[in-house]
Amino acid sequence: MQRPRLFVTRRLPQDVENRLMDTFETNLSTGEFADNSEKLIQHSQNVDGILCAPCDQIGADLIAKLPDRIRIISTFSVGYEHVDVAAAKKRNIVVTNTPGVLTDATADIALLLILGATRRAYEGERLIRENKWTGWVPTQLMGIGLQGKRLGILGMGRIGQAVAVRAKAFGMDIHYHNRRPVAFDATYHETAESLLAHSDVLSLHCPLTAETKGFLNEEAIEKMPQGAVVVNTARGPVVDDDALIAALKSGRLSAAGLDVFTGEPNLHAGYRDLPNTFLLPHLGSGTVETRNAMGFCALENLKAFFEGKTPPNVVA
C-alpha cells in the first residue's frame, strides 16, 4: 500500500523527522523546502497533505491554488492564524494543530520574562558584557520584587493557569480575566478593564482574534497602575507596539518582557533601543522535549486522518 505523501515546509527536530519518514513519503530526503507562497504551491502538486509551521502564511489565495489532492494541513503549532481556516473549510481541507503539549515550556518562559523585566536583567547583563560594571553599590539597578504584587492574567487557559501556579510560588497575588471563571484559587474579573486596574504585572495569554488584536493600546495602558510591567507570550499583534513603546519611554510602564512580536522576526525597531525591555526570539516552546512533543502531535493528527479517523486536534 502506498504511503501518503506530504510536503514539509520546514526542517523539524531530528526525532520528529525520523518518525515522519517512517510513516510518510516526504520531501525531507531532497532538502526542498518552501520559503514563499509560490514555492509552496509548486511543491504541493503531488502530495496528499502539508505539514507547515507558524512562519508559513497560508492564506485564502494560496489555498485556492492548492491541488484537489491535498486534504489536510497540519500545523506544527498551537496557533493557527497563519492558515485561513475558513478558506480551507471551503476546499474541504482539514486543518489541525498541536495544543496541550507546550503549556509548561511557555509558562516557564513567561516567568523568565516576568523576572527578567522586573529585575532589569538586560541592563545587568549588558553591564557585564560591555565591561562597564564597576562593582556593587547599594543603589545599582534596583528592580521590582514580586512578593505581594498583583499578577493579572488575560486568558486563563492551560498556559495562564500554569503561569499562575508558578507565580504563586513567588508570592504573587493572582487576578485574571477569562470568558468565564475557572476552578482556580484567584480573583476573577468580569471585564478586562477591571483586570488592568489590578495588574502590577500583566501577563498576556489570550488567543489572537479580531477582538484581542491591538488590545493593549494607549487606552488600556492608562487603566493600569503607574509603573506596571507587561509580559507577552501570546501573540505579537495583541499589543499596540507604538503605544507600548511610548509608555515604556515615558515611564508610564516600568518594563516589558516580550517573547512574541508583530511581524516577527522584523519586530518594531523601537524595542531595540529601550533598556527597560527584556526581549526573547519566540522561545516559548523552545525545549527539546516540547518541540518533539509538538512534532509527534502533528504526526498523530496526520496518521489518524489518513487512516480514515478524525484527527485528535481538528480546528476546521
Task: Give residues with Cβ within 8 angstroms of 168, minimum separation 6.
Answer: 174
Number of neighbours of residue 87 by Cβ within 10 angstroms: 19
Distance CA 126, CA 90 (A): 52
Distance CA 270, CA 115 (A): 22
Asked if 205 is an active-site residue, the reply is: no
Cα gap 210→306, rounded to integer Å: 33
Annotated active-site residue in 175, 189, 198, 282: 282
Q: 122 by DSSP, 3-state: which?
A: helix
Query: How many Cα atoms occupy the beta-carbon half-sphere of 205 within 13 Å?
Result: 29
Classify burial at 180, counting beta carbons within 10 Å of its beta carbon; exposed 0-12, middle 13-18, buried 19 or more.
Answer: exposed
**Residue 282 annotated to the active site:** yes
Selected catalytic residue, list 150, 205, 235, 291: 235
Q: Which three cell numbers stand for residue 277?
A: 525591555
Catalytic residue, from 264, 272, 289, 300: name it.
Answer: 264
How far apart CA 41 and CA 65 sit, in angstroms, is 7
- Residues designated catalytic: 235, 264, 282
